[in-house]
Amino acid sequence: MLTKTLLILAAVTTIALAGQEMPRFDYSISRKIMLTWDDRWEVGGSNMLAILSKDKKIIIRVKVSGDTGGGMKRMLFYKCPKNSVEESIDLSSLATTSTTDRCSSTISFQVSALKSVDDTDFQLAMGSSKLSYTEVFRERIEFFIKIEYATGELVSNRLFVWSLDAISSFSSASTSTSYKKRFLTDAAVNYMKKTSTATSGFDSIQFLEPAISRVLKEAPDFFKAKMNLGSILYFDAGSCLTFQMGKSIMFVNYNSKLDDDNQNFQKLMKLNIDDGKLWYSACGLRNEACEVVPGISPNVTILSGMDFTAIVCPIICNDKTEVFRFYRNDVQMVGSGDEWTYVDGLRISRTGNIVEFPHTLSNRHSGVYRCEAGSKSFSFKVKVISLPQFQTETFVSDSHAKITGLLPPKVYAIEDEYVSYSCIVNFASLETVKIEPVFYFVETVGGSQSWTKMTLDEFRSKVNTDGADFFLNATSAGKDSKRLTATVRRVPPVYTTYGTNFSHRFVCDVSIDRSESMMVGMPTYKVQSGGGDVVFIPRLTRKQFVLNPNNNCSVQGCGFSKGAFFEFSLTDEFMAYLTRVGVDVESYLRLDNDLLDNVKILFNNASEISTTNAPQRLAYKIYPVSSPDVAKELVKRKRLIPVYNFRYRTGSNIANLKLDKERHGEPIAALGQSDCRQDSLCFYSTDFDIGSSLSFLPVSLNFKMPTEPEPAAANSIIIGVVIGIICLIVVIILIVYWVRRQPERAYLVEEKEIQLGHNPKEEAKAEVFKEYQRVPNQAGDEDGAAVVPLQGNRMSLGSSLSVASGDDKELDQYKDDIDFKEFGEQGSFIGGYQNDPRKKEVFEAAGGNEASV
């Protein structure tokens, strides 16, 4: 009894745990890894970075889903520059306004709460930076979020925030007090004020202070690509006083600034970051047409996931109407005449001298980009670095198409079925990408549920499976992608020893080495696949159903006069469990191999399907049948089968999920999409098991064609018909007998005479009536003695005939039949023989001699 109780308790606990969801961050999937001001950091994605200046803000969104046990605490942890100590802020206690400066000695910031529907948004506002210009590419603030709940904690990936304000605070050697806070030289300031004059067709000035140029050389490669264009965006500004070259805008987001004027302006000047010189043309004052700016590095690294990053042709010309052309791997990128034209996910400017790389880059965008103007040309060798992400995008025209490598958010693992789920990570120009599985298993400890991180072997021991039934396979899906696949050949049943089942959370954890993460300004880089809640569902048995005990036709007596009623249902408890774990249930009735709804003849006031607690209960009522067509349809039908299909919800991401429904046979064409094998979202159907464990579900129909009229009257008619047929046969036999009757064969003596070859009737006509007597043999025995004519006078028949043999019995019959007293005088006999057959026969036997008679 104790063992049985423990098994029941284990089963109940198993069902309860299977419905639990591990707490996780809820965030939008994006390939963007660099934030600018007013962007939103949705906590839970990959590591990200941001470049922010004083007074710039971003929003921190912290959303958590799953079962946290009724409460949680949201904490923001941070590490200041030059400090390895982690400090924290309780986000739950924040006010909507904050004046507390954090990291005040390096890069200061403030955090405050924002009013939102579910209190998930907070604001990060940047303060001033006290870093030296030499430290801007080495120091940053590091943030992460920790969620603390009753039985565990949830930790996010990192956000790294940079500030470049120290560059704009650089004290230049300029003698002009108006420009003490600039990193520009006096020559640059005079040039911007348009007080300098070129002495030749093409010239240069030292635009950046050499000290700044040396610092920029230390910047990560992706920074350099941004600065190359940003430094000359505002040359057409009306006043130098409003020209803030040091602001981070010059490094990150310039897309909206590049109108036709700015595009053409890039044809006239070019800044070389490596030496800080600005090269410019004399704008038609000299005869030289075009020139390549010296010292420009042909090697360009562009980071995918950032805002638009541009490469600008380093050829400057005297005439801004000069035609520029860009070629990608020797194929010209032709614009359509619009300000920007998309070509294979890239953008080419109308002026032809600028190519922009959006954040949706992949390795296929790496290559050689050659520009031409006049008689000059220059080639860039572009290397695209794409950090590992589980979702890629194709950029065609102005639309995006997303290709996901994410695990399905939920995987339903029904006992004894096959299921396989994968994650695919995409990247570019990286060599150290690692993809590893992580298992989280829910257990009840001290009455509380806890999610424990496990290795593959630990997980296998908990669910009682081995490498033959559950295994992992890591493969390269291409040069720039890796796939991790978990395959379950047979989902194991409940492991009653521990009261555990196959429910778990599966995560693909991806990382790269520090040597490669530092190329993009982050000490570490990690990203998780998200999703991956694997939910166990037990194989269905009779205990999951409530069936009408009268479903069997032999019990309820299905018939045309009374109809029939059938009822099927899942139990309330099982249906509640399926609803809790997110399974959609669709049900229908099968009539043999047809969808009952499609057998239209049965629904012309002949029968009705009804559902309550849809789709849990199915009921089918057949009304008394009066239509011959309905009767014929019911007679030819053999089985009524309730079918329950278990499905992923509409809109679910199952791109990387594989099932094996083919093992349950070919789809039934007449069922269409109602057949689970035809429905991509359906993972199990009771139809799979009606030939085995669910053989009790189908109902045998037993309708027989009725006859007219009703059975009682019909039986009377049948009996009468049979009696009539018998009587008719008897009459026919009698008629045949009388027609074929031969009178001469009517008596035994005559029959024997005929057999001896005599004709008694003819002999009687030819012979005169004689009297005979039997002569005894020597022994005195008359038996068998000869019969001889009597010698002497005639005697009466009654006194002279001795009957001793069986053959002579006929004579006694004649004697009895002919009573001479009846006839009286001789004439009376003769006068009546013509009307009496018997008299006539005697008369003829006497040869017609009245005397003999």
Q: How many CB atoms lie within 10 A of CB 610?
A: 11
The single-letter DSSP state of residue 168 is H
Please give the Cα distance from 704 to 564 (Å, whole number).
13
Tell me the residue type at 818. Answer: I
Please give the Cα distance from 555 to 198 (Å, whole number).
108
Residues 188 and 149 in one domain: no
In a domain, 220, yes or no: yes
Tell me the residue type at 829. Answer: F
Looking at 339, 369, 386, the residue that finishes a domain is 386
In a domain, 421, yes or no: yes
Return the beta strands (E) in 525-606 as ranges: 525-528, 533-537, 545-547, 564-570, 584-591, 594-595
| Residue 163's CATH number | 2.60.40
Q: How many CB atoms lie within 10 A of CB 12?
A: 12
Rounded to 5°, the CA angle 272-274-277 comes to: 40
CA dihedral 302, 304, 310, 312 (to 10 degrees): 30
Please give the Cα distance from 592 to 636 (Å, whole number).
10
In a domain, 706, yes or no: no
Please give the Cα distance from 646 to 104 (Å, whole number).
57
**Are 802 and 773 a contacting pair, CB within 8 Å?**
yes
Please give the Cα distance from 334 to 324 (Å, whole number).
11
Question: Tokens for 378?
Answer: 């220059």
In a domain, 831, yes or no: no
Within its chain, how far is the Cα of 779 from the centroid? 119
Residues 359 and 407 in one domain: no
Model confidence over 151-192: pLDDT tens digits?
888 999 999 998 888 876 766 555 554 444 356 677 766 665
Looking at 509, 539, 569, the residue that finishes a domain is 539
Residues 535 and 547 in one domain: no
Residue listed under structure tokens 């999951």: 544
Cα-Cα end-to-end distance for the chain:
116
Identify the burial level of 649 via C-beta atoms within 10 angstroms of its C-beta, where 0-12 means exposed, 13-18 middle and 19 or more buried.
exposed
Residues 312 and 186 in one domain: yes
Residues 380 and 237 in one domain: yes
Looking at 539, 555, 575, the residue that finishes a domain is 539
In a domain, 800, yes or no: no
For 651-679, give one letter per residue: b (16+ CB within 10 A) or e: ebebebbebebeebeebbeebeebbbbeb
Residues 328 and 288 in one domain: yes
Tell me the residue type at 564. Answer: A
Residues with pLDDT less than 50, the chain: 1-17, 177-181, 195-196, 229-256, 284-286, 395-398, 709-710, 793-808, 810-811, 814-828
Looking at residue 825, its pLDDT comes to 45
From residue 287, alpha-carbon distances to 231, 281, 815 in Å are 28, 11, 172
With H, G, I as helix, E, B as strand and everything else as coil, classify residue 628: helix
DSSP 118-136: TS-EEEEEEEEE---GGGT
Rounded to 5°, the CA angle 710-714-719 comes to: 160
Return the beta strands (E) in 516-576 as ranges: 525-528, 533-537, 545-547, 564-570
Residues 219 and 362 in one domain: yes
Question: Tokens for 430?
Answer: 């990286």
Count of helix runs (H) and strand runs (E) in the chain? 19, 50
Question: Tokens for 261?
Answer: 């004027």
**Are 314 and 266 a contacting pair, CB within 8 Å?**
no
Question: Tokens for 376?
Answer: 């000059």
| Residue 437's CATH number | 2.60.40.10
Question: Tokens for 140?
Answer: 């940053």
Rounded to 5°, the CA angle 552-558-563 comes to: 125
For 720, residues 6+ apart whose C-beta sits below 8 A from its C-beta are: none
Count the domains in the chain: 4
**Are 122 and 60 a contacting pair, CB within 8 Å?**
yes
**Are 521 and 49 a contacting pair, CB within 8 Å?**
yes
Residues 605 and 664 in one domain: yes
Tell me the residue type at 838. Answer: R
List the domain range (segments joined by +) for residue 414: 391-539
Identify the burial level of 131 via C-beta atoms within 10 angstroms of its C-beta, where 0-12 means exposed, 13-18 middle and 19 or more buried.
buried
In a domain, 728, yes or no: no
In a domain, 85, yes or no: yes
Q: Which long-range contacts (CB under 8 A, 24 or more apart) does 174-180 make?
A: 178/241, 179/240
Residues 152 and 189 in one domain: no
From residue 566, alpha-carbon distances to 165, 544, 574, 600 in Å are 78, 18, 21, 19
Residue in 368, 247, 364, 229 with CA at minimum distance from that of residue 304: 364
Residues 162 and 269 in one domain: no
Whether cis (ω within 30° of 0) applies to the bond prior to 667 is no
Residue listed under structure tokens 């050689």: 368
Please give the Cα distance from 392 to 400 (Å, whole number).
10
Residues 227 and 343 in one domain: yes
Whether cis (ω within 30° of 0) applies to the bond prior to 538 is no
Q: How many CB atoms lie within 10 A of CB 784?
A: 10
Residue 176: HSE in the Cβ half-sphere, 13 Å Cα cutoff: 15
3-state helix, strand, coil in the chain (%, to 5): 25, 30, 40
**Are 44 and 124 a contacting pair, CB within 8 Å?**
no
**Are 205 and 192 a contacting pair, CB within 8 Å?**
no
For 501, residues 6+ apart whose C-beta sits below 8 A from its C-beta are: 14, 17, 18, 463, 492, 493, 494, 495, 536, 538
Model confidence over 630-679: pLDDT tens digits?
999 999 999 999 999 999 999 888 889 999 999 999 999 999 999 999 99
Looking at residue 286, its pLDDT comes to 47
In a domain, 760, yes or no: no
CA dihedral 543, 544, 547, 553 (to 10 degrees): -80
**Are 614 and 608 a contacting pair, CB within 8 Å?**
no
For 628, residues 6+ apart whose C-beta sits below 8 A from its C-beta are: none
From residue 839, alpha-carbon distances to 817, 824, 832, 849 in Å are 10, 14, 7, 13
From residue 761, alpha-carbon distances to 426, 660, 751, 834, 836 in Å are 126, 101, 11, 18, 18
Looking at residue 200, its pLDDT comes to 57
Residues 572 and 684 in one domain: yes
DSSP 357-408: E-S---GGG-EEEEEEETTEEEEEEEEEEEEEESEEEEEETTEEEEEE-PPP
